[in-house]
Amino acid sequence: MEKPRKIGVFDSGVGGESVAKAIKKQLPEHDIIYVSDNKNVPYGSKTQAELKKLVMPIMQTLSRHVDVIVIACNTVSTLLVKEIRQEISTPIIALEPMVKPAAEQTKSGVVAVCATPATLGSERYQWLKQAYAKGVEVLEPDCSNWSQMIEANSIQKEHIHEQITTVCEKGADVIVLGCTHYHWIENIINEEAAGRAIVLQPEQPAIKQLNRVLAQLD
Ligand code: DGL
């Protein structure tokens, strides 16, 4: 059995809780410290400069209390992970949209990435598409109000249905959940996409990476 460690999991709101839950289930010997920025959620409509001001102090404090940090927020990962890594030395696992696996798994050559406006507009996300999805059509449905909808626990099934049906009709056979809030509506998206598209989300790859990092700690 591994030595118990402190794992910090961070998100703007409830999104990362799904990730923390999955980690706790698979690695029950470790302590999870979940931190969210409920006062400032949603992050997905904020600029990089606004996010930097909010997130850096949280990361600095968290890094003093944990052995490893999981940034369970695609928005923070895609906009800020470079700067965060420069400022803190705690190992970081950063969840970001699974563009590469989606491009590898599509048979139709069309994939859809559901993410916040900030993630979709980030340089890192543009880079992921350039690097891994050349020749693949990447659809980006409008999910701009999804994290608020999930925070408020008022799920508009109609809107989700509309977005998912549209991307499936355009030929997408892989749908990426590029925001951890959407993990809470994974079942709804899976039902809508059934038989037409598979749904990818990063919990399992993140836990694999977390295991590797934990094994390297002394
Ligand atoms: N859950 C976050 C993400 O993965 C942020 C959502 C938000 O605050 O808008 O992007």
pLDDT per position as a tens digit, 101-137: 999 999 999 999 999 999 999 999 999 999 999 999 9
Phi (first) and psi of residue 217, to 5 degrees: -70, 145
Percentage of residues of the chain with pLDDT beyond 70: 100
Residue 2 has a pLDDT of 73
- Average pLDDT value for residue range 198-211: 98
Active site residue 179: yes
Question: Which of 73, 114, 143, 168 is flagged as catalytic?
Answer: 73
Q: Is 30 in the pocket of ligand 1 (CB under 6 A)?
A: no
Residue 179 CA to ligand 1 centre (angstroms): 5
Ligand 1 centre to CA of 85 (Å) is 19
pLDDT in tens, 159-188: 999 999 999 999 999 999 999 999 999 999
Return mean pLDDT, the chain: 97
Instruction: Say if residue 58's pLDDT is above 90.
Output: yes
β 31-36/198-200 pair status:
unpaired
Distances from the Cα of 178 to the Cα of 141, 167, 216, angstroms? 11, 15, 28
Q: Could you give the domains of the chain?
A: 6-95+203-217 (3.40.50.1860), 99-200 (3.40.50.1860)
Widest pairwise Cα distance in the chain = 51
pLDDT at 218 over 90: no
> Is the pTM higher than 0.95?
yes
Residue 1 above 90 pLDDT? no
193-216 burial by CB neighbour count: b if 16+ within 10 A, else e?
beebbbbbbbbeebbebbeebbee
